[in-house]
Every structure is written in C-alpha cells, then in structure tokens.
A and B are shown apart, each in its own frame.
Chain A
Amino acid sequence: MANAPTKASRPPPRAPLPGPIEWLRENLFSSWGNAALTVVALLILYWVVVPFVRWAFIDAAWTGTGRDDCLAFENGACWPFVSERIGQIIYGFYDVTERWRVDLTLIGLALGLLWLTMPGMPGKRPVGAVMVLAYPLIAFVLLAGGFGLEEVPTTRWGGLLMTLVVAFTGIVASLPLGILLALGRRSELPVVKGLSVAFIELWRGVPLVTVLFMAANMLPLFVGLSVNKLLAALIAVALFSSAYMAEVIRGGLQAIPKGQYEAAAAMGLSYWRSMAFVILPQALRLSLPNIVGNFIGLLKDTSLISIIGFFDLLGIVQAGATDPEWATPNTALTGYAFVGAVFWAMCFGMSRYATHLEGVLGAGGRR
C-alpha cells in the first residue's frame, strides 16, 4: 500500500492566463473585494452612461425648426434648439450683418493662442507682446466700432463672445496687476507691503458674486456718473482675478533662491532691473502651470456675470430655454449639455496644457 501523504502539497504557482484575460484578472478581479468594486463601478457606469447616450444621441431630436419637432422626442435631447439658435449662442444680439467682425476677432485670438502654445514656434516673444498689447485694442475697435466701423453697443454683445471678452480681459489685466501686487507683498517698504496685503486679502476673502454686485450697484456711486455696465463688470473681474494671480506669482517668487537676488544686486542692477531681467523671468516660468490653472478658474467664473444680467454663453442659453417658442422638458438640459461641452473642451484643453508645462519645466527647468 502506498503511503498517503500526510499533508497536501501546495499548488504550483498559477500560470499566466492568455492575453487580456490575465490583464482582467490582475486589474479587476485580483481578490473578492476587488471583484465587488469592479461590479459596483460597472453598475455606476451602466446607470450613468447608458441613459446619457440614449438621451443625447439615440432618442434625441436632430432636425427641426421649433418646439413641436422636439415634443415628439419625449426622452431625448432637443438639438434643433442649439442648431437654430447657434447664432445667438455665439454672438448674442450682435448685428447679423456685422458678425464678421466677431469672427475676425475670434480667429485672431485662436491664431495667437495657437502660436504661443505650440512648442517650437519661432518669435514667441513678439507675438506674445502683440497679443497682450496690440490685440486688445484691435479687438476693442473691431467689436465696439469706430474708425469707420458701425458702432455696436455693448448691450448687444452676448453668448460665447461675451464669455471670451470677459475671460480675456480678466486674463490680460490680471497678469500685470498680479505681478505688481506680488512684488508689493514681498516689498521691504511697510506701506507698499501693507496696502498689497490688504488689497489681496480683501478680494480673496469675498465671493465673486458680491464683487459683481458691487460693480453693478456701488461703482456708479463712486465714479459719480453712469458707467458702462460691461466696463464696471470687467473692472470687477480684473481686480478680483489680479488678487488670485498675485498669490500664484508670489509662490513663484518664493521659489527663487536667495542667491539670485544677491547675484542681481552684485551686478549693480537696480530693483526694477533685477526684477525684470533676473527674478521675474524665472518666477513666471515656475508659476506658469499655476497661472494657467488660474485662467481655468477665471474662465469658469465668467459665467457668474449672468447673475448681474449679462447674457454670456450660459446666460443666453438659460434665457433661451425659458422662451415659450422652445420650451420643452428637454430644452434646458440640451442647452446645458451644449454649454457644458464648450466649457469642458476649453478648460480641459487648458488643464492638459498646464500638465504639459509642468512636465517640460520639471524636466529642464530644475537642476
């Protein structure tokens, strides 16, 4: 009789399963707990993605000219609302015959941004200077009129145009103001430092909504004459975002080693020269990813101007959805989906760019 083994031998190590099955096993079903998590995740995906795809694509109304065409599609998006209103969504109430001016402005903006963000493009410095110094003036004349162009009052601006105007003005104005404030906060002069700290903490401590309320209700009192409403809002956004920009740039300034300041002083450079030629180029480079992050926040925050009565991208869709001509149970949601897609594409693009910058700076910028 053969001896029965007293203890079962351990099983040999498991041979890897073929191809994707092994991957599944490793990444999704490595243990019972993990398998349960996978099932929960699959359920969430099923509950969110399937209804969304059905609503947005399969059950949606794609063609039509009015609400009646959408009412037939009870459980689907009402895309004709977007396609019929696309002119308003982009240009607001801008005169139809003058819309080419908006197109020109936006194309200029897109070309400038592409030039500046594409790696390896020549002449980034002059192009950047043109975008920051000359472009805003050209854009203003193109949009508002003058020099032979018919005037279009700002009350007729709206939609995507309004969103981009507010965001771009905020960005362009907040950079120089933010740099000055950041330098002021690190100044050795007590008055300069105190005023900078007070300014920064005041704006950072209050919500943008109250700042916009202030611009709409209080600024006219302080200036003493009627102010263009858009200008008041733009000033508010610029002051508000410059405080946040100042803190981002201060972070960059703090990361510059002391030796750089001392070296600049040893070269006999004055304060402003040492800042302009030695410190700020390095500090701005370091804070670039966070500056882009700040721009993302600013772009999203522009939607708040609809609260004080402007028809920006979100505001005009919100107004359109309550228009009886288009009112269906799905109109508002369709509008939000469209606006969300536009905002998401812009913000996600910028955040990808910021991540890319972080990689570039991390690899080459530091020793």
Chain B
Amino acid sequence: MATPLRIAWWRRRRTRDLLFQAALIAGVLLLFGIMANNAIQTVERQHIATGFGFLDHTAGFDVVQTLVRYDETSTYGRVLLVGILNTLLVAAIGIVLATLLGFLVGIGQLSSNWLVARLARSFVEIVRNLPLLLQIFFWYFAVLRALPGPRESWGVADAVFLNNRGLYLPAPVAESGFGFVMLAFAAGAIASIFMFLRAKAVRERTGRVSPVAPGTTALLVVPALLASAAAGFPMSFSVPALSGFNFQGGIVVLPEMMALVVALATYTASYIAEIVRAGIEGVARGQTEAAQALGLNRGQMLRLVIVPQAMRQIIPPLTSQYLNLTKNSSLAVAIAYPDLVSVFAGTTLSQTGQAIEIIAITMAVYLTLSLLTSAFMNWYNARVALTER
C-alpha cells in the first residue's frame, strides 16, 4: 500500500521544463531561419550587395555639419562616424540644458510662491502632454524659419547674431603660446582640487569649517590669467560679420540643431522636473525637522541633508531620461539635422539599399549607448546601497 509515489518520466516537472525550453529554442531558431532564408532570396533577386564592404565605399554626398574632417570623397564608414558624433553633440547639449531647466522647474513646482508654483506646474503639464515631433516642428518651422534674414539679423554686441540661417557665435582661435596657458590652468585646477580635499579632510577630522570657495576660485583663475598675460594673451576671437548675403567667420549653430536642442531640452526638462519634485518630496519630513533641530541654516539644510537624500531617488530615473533624450534625438531625421539616423539610416540606406546591415549597425549604436547607461545605473545603485548602511 505504501508504495513510493512514482511519476512517469514524461510527467515530471524537470522533463516538461526541459522539453518546453527546447521547443521554444527550436521555434525561435525556425523563425530566424525562415526570415534569413527569405532575406537571402530577396536580396539575390533584387541584386542588392551584402556584407559590410560598403563602409569603405565613397559616399559622394555632402553633410551640412561635421565635427570631424569630411568631404564628398569620404567613405560611408566616415558618414557613420559623422552621424554618431552629431547625435552625441545634440544629446550632450540637450542633456545639460534639460538638467538645468528641469531642476529649475522642479524646484519651482515646490515654491512657496503661489504664482511661481503654478507657472512651473503649467509648463510641465503643457510640454509633457504634447508629442515631441510636434514640438520640433513648432520650433523649426514656426519659430526659427520665421526669424528675419541675415541682413536684418538680431544681434547682441555685434558679436552674436541670430537669423533664419542659424545662430552665429564668435569662435575662439588659439594662437602660439596657448598650450602654455592651458598648462597653467591645469596646474591651477589640480591645486584647487587638492585644496578642496584638504579642507574636507580637516573638516571631517576637527569639525572646523573653513571657507574654500575664494581660494579654489583664485587657484582656477589666477595662474591662467598670469600665464596668458606673460604669453601676450595668445587667444583671439573670430567674430561673425555680414559679408554679401551671409555671415562669415565665427561658428554657426544650424537652425535644425537649435530647433532639435530646444525641443529636446524643454520636453525632457518637463520629465526631469517631475523627477526632481518627487525626489525632494520623497525626503522624509523628519529629516527637515532634524536638520532644523541641529541648528543648520536653510542653505546648509538643503546642501547637507535634503539634496543628498533626494539625489539618491533622483539619479536613476534621471539617467533613463538622459537615455530617452539621446534616443529621441533620432527625430532629427524629420527636420534633416544630420544625426546618425538621418545620414546613415536615411541617406546611406537609400543610396546603397543595404537595409539589413545599416539598420543593424544603427540599432547596435543605440543599444550600446543604452547598455552602457544601464551598466552605469547598476553601478551607481550598488554604490548608493552600500553607503546606505
């Protein structure tokens, strides 16, 4: 009667799990096989080249904005590099502006000033609920295209000009002896970091707080100033000036890039503002009361108690917003800013027809950025968790 319970082998859980997983692998492989087979047949039928050899072929088209040397004889591989750099440039500028605006609006939402809080809240509610593409179109077609032409540009101090061809800024030009100045600046920067760390060590050991801001600022500025005076100020500015129908000299920020940066920065700022608000509200009320009980003033309370704890909550979602901004910069293709998608997945794809390789490379670039970001996030979370207890 008490025979041990025996389960037939095909009903055992382990067998079933194994079989199920084997079937799943087989199914996925079959799907990929069919897709690959179809792709090979279609590619052969349509006489499309395969492989990554096209990266060495001459591209033969012009790109309006390049951070590295590029001309019509450059290769598609060079186009890829140009596209990646342009994407990173827009993303970097956008991230800085979005962070500044986002923190400003986020703190504004918590202001005791009724009007400021309402204004910040309205900004978030309006910008967050409109499609990003609509906002890019708005800035590009409705705002920047409507600016006056070069002859009627808006100018500031005869050095900065804004018109419908772009934003013209003075460009610094390094002359001989500039390396010497940079060296002096680097030395000053290292010395100021050293001074800051020393003051911190003293504070942690003795509890004595000594103001370091004047010293570190002086170390940053004075050596560089002295060095440039000694070298005879080896830097000049190339100032944009109207000649003929357009401006010459200086650096120009294309309207496409301005529209993209402004739209990305304001859109992402509306999300960052919410993250910042939630982060600050998430710090327990007792922390504020404890800080007040310790006799900290408002500035110290924010700097030493509230912000470090709020940052712990803010940074992980903030990083994913940075990533979103980078991915959203691919909307550049809609207004023909020469980002990765626009020059590579757009122009290069239509010229070579090698859809599979090009889309795969493009996706791989974004995927790498994403994985790097999540790796950083995991590292940061682990660090914060360690210092918690």
* A residues whose Cβ falls under 8 Å from a Cβ of B: 27-28, 30, 34, 37-38, 41-42, 44-45, 189-192, 195, 201-202, 204-210, 213-214, 217-218, 220-224, 296, 300-304, 306-307, 314, 318, 321, 329, 332-333, 336, 339-340, 343-344, 347-348, 351
Tell me whether B129 and A209 are in contact (CB under 8 A): no
Looking at the complex, which one of A34, A207, A339 makes contact with B113 (CB distance below 8 Å)? Answer: A34
> Interface of B with A (CB < 8 Å)?
17, 20-21, 24-25, 28, 35, 37-39, 41-43, 111-116, 119, 125-126, 128-134, 137-138, 141-142, 146, 327-328, 330-331, 333-334, 341, 345, 349, 355-356, 359, 362-363, 366-367, 369-371
- Identify A304's interface contact among B39, B115, B331, CB under 8 A: B331
A34 touches B21 (CB 8 A): no
B116 touches A210 (CB 8 A): no
Q: Determine if A27 and B114 form an interchain contact, defined as CB atoms under 8 angstroms apart.
A: yes
A39 to chain B, nearest CB (A): 10
Contact A213 B345 (CB under 8 A): yes
Whole-angstrom distance between the Cβ of A201 and the nearest chain B Cβ: 8
Judge whether A189 and B119 touch: CB under 8 Å. Answer: no
In chain A, what residue has the closest Cβ to B329? Answer: A207
Smallest CB separation, B330 vs chain A (Å): 4
A28 vs B43: C-alpha distance when bound (angstroms)? 68
Known: A27-B114, A221-B355. A339 touches B134 (CB 8 A): yes
Q: A38-B113, A207-B341, A218-B355 are in contact. Are A314 and B137 (CB under 8 A)?
A: yes
Contact in complex: B114, A336 (CB < 8 Å): no
Residues of chain A within 8 A (CB-CB) of B134 are: 303, 314, 336, 339-340, 343
Contacts of B370 in A (CB 8 A): 201, 204-206
**CB < 8 Å neighbour of B38 from A209, A223, A340:** A223
Q: Are A209 and B116 in contact (CB under 8 A)?
A: no
Q: Is the CB of A329 within 8 A of B349?
A: no
A207-B42 in contact given A336-B134, A348-B125 (Cβ < 8 Å): no
Whose C-beta in chain B lies nearest to the C-beta of A217?
B355
What separation, in Å, do the CA atoms of A209 and B367 have in the docked complex?
Answer: 14
Quick check: A314 and B131 within 8 Å, CB to CB? Answer: yes
Q: Say yes or no: B119 contacts A221, CB within 8 Å.
A: no
What is the chain A residue whose CB lies nearest that of B111? A37
- In contact, B355 and A300 (Cβ under 8 angstroms): no
List 6 A-B pairs, minimum CB-CB distance, nearest first: A224-B38, A205-B370, A347-B129, A27-B114, A217-B355, A207-B327
Which DSSP category, helix, strand, loop or mixed, fits chain A's interface? helix
Which of A41, A192, A343 sits near B24, CB closer than 8 Å?
A: A192
Q: List 28 A-B contacts (CB under 8 A).
A: A27-B113, A27-B115, A28-B113, A34-B112, A41-B116, A189-B17, A206-B362, A207-B330, A210-B362, A213-B349, A217-B349, A217-B355, A218-B355, A218-B356, A220-B42, A221-B39, A221-B43, A224-B37, A224-B38, A300-B130, A303-B133, A303-B134, A307-B334, A318-B137, A336-B138, A336-B141, A344-B126, A348-B125
Question: Can you name the residue of chain A whose Cβ is closest to the Cβ of B17?
Answer: A189
Contacts A224-B41, A336-B141 known; 15 new A-B pairs at CB < 8 A: A27-B114, A28-B114, A30-B112, A34-B112, A38-B116, A191-B21, A191-B25, A206-B362, A210-B345, A213-B362, A217-B349, A224-B42, A329-B146, A332-B141, A343-B131
Contacts of B330 in A (CB 8 A): 207, 209-210
Closest to A344 in B: B129
Specify which of A189, A333, A348 is in contact with B20 (CB 8 Å cutoff). A189
Given A28-B114, A307-B334, A314-B137, is A213 in contact with B366 using a C-beta cutoff of 8 Å? no
Q: Which residue of A is nearest B332, CB measured?
A: A209
User: How many Å lie between the Cα of A218 and that of B333 in the bound state?
Assistant: 18
Q: Which residues on the A side are within 8 Å of B334 (C-beta)?
A: 306-307
Q: Check A210–B366 contact: CB distance below 8 A.
A: yes
Report the bound CA distance from A213 to B367 in whole Å. 16
Contact between B137 and A336, CB atoms less than 8 A apart: yes
Contacts known (A192-B24, A221-B355); A209 close to B341, Cβ less than 8 A: yes
Residues of B within 8 A of A205 (CB): 363, 366-367, 369-371
Task: Name the B residues within 8 Å of A202 (CB-CB).
Answer: 363, 367
| A272 shortest CB reach to chain B, Å | 12
CA of A191 to CA of B19, assembled, Å: 11
Inter-chain contact A301/B341, CB cutoff 8 Å: no
A30 and B114 CA atoms in complex are apart in Å by 11
A300 CA to B17 CA in the complex, in Å? Answer: 41
CB-CB < 8 A to A296: which residues of B? 129
Nearest-CB residue, chain B, relative to A321: B141
A221 lies within 8 A of B345 (CB) = no
User: Given A218-B359, A224-B42, do A206 and B327 touch, yes or no (CB 8 Å)?
Assistant: yes
Which of the listed residues A217, A296, A301 has the most CB atoms from chain B within 10 Å of its own CB? A217
Residues of A near B20 (CB, < 8 A) are: 189, 192
Contact of B367 among A38, A206, A218, A339 (CB under 8 A): A206
Bound state CA distance, A201 and B369, in angstroms? 12
In the complex, the answer to whether B359 meets A214 with C-beta atoms within 8 Å is yes
- In the complex, A236 Cα to B327 Cα: how many Å? 16
- Asked whether A42 and B133 contact (CB < 8 A) given A192-B24, A210-B362, A221-B39, the answer is no
Chain B, residue nearest A39 (CB): B115
How many Å lie between the Cα of A59 and that of B25 in the bound state?
Answer: 65
How far is B132's CA from A206's CA once the two chains are assembled, in angstroms? 17
Are B133 and A306 in touch, CB under 8 angstroms?
yes
- Closest B residue to A334 by beta carbon equals B142
Task: Out of A41, A213, A222, name the residue touching B341 (CB < 8 Å).
Answer: A213
Chain B hits for A217, CB < 8 A? 349, 355, 359
Please measure, in the bound complex, the distance between the C-alpha atom of A327 and the C-alpha atom of B327, giving whole angstroms: 33
- What's the minimum C-beta distance from B125 to chain A, rounded to whole angstroms? 7
Known contacts A191-B25, A221-B39, A224-B38, A206 near B355 by CB under 8 Å: no
Give the distance to chain B from A213, nearest Cβ to Cβ, in Å. Answer: 5
- Give every chain A residue within 8 A of B17 (Cβ-Cβ): 189
Residues of B within 8 A of A343 (CB): 129-131, 134
Set of chain A residues within 8 Å of B363, measured between Cβ atoms: 202, 205-206, 210, 214
Max chain B Cβ within 10 angstroms of own Cβ: one of A28, A190, A218: A218
- A201 partner residues in chain B, CB cutoff 8 A: 367, 370-371
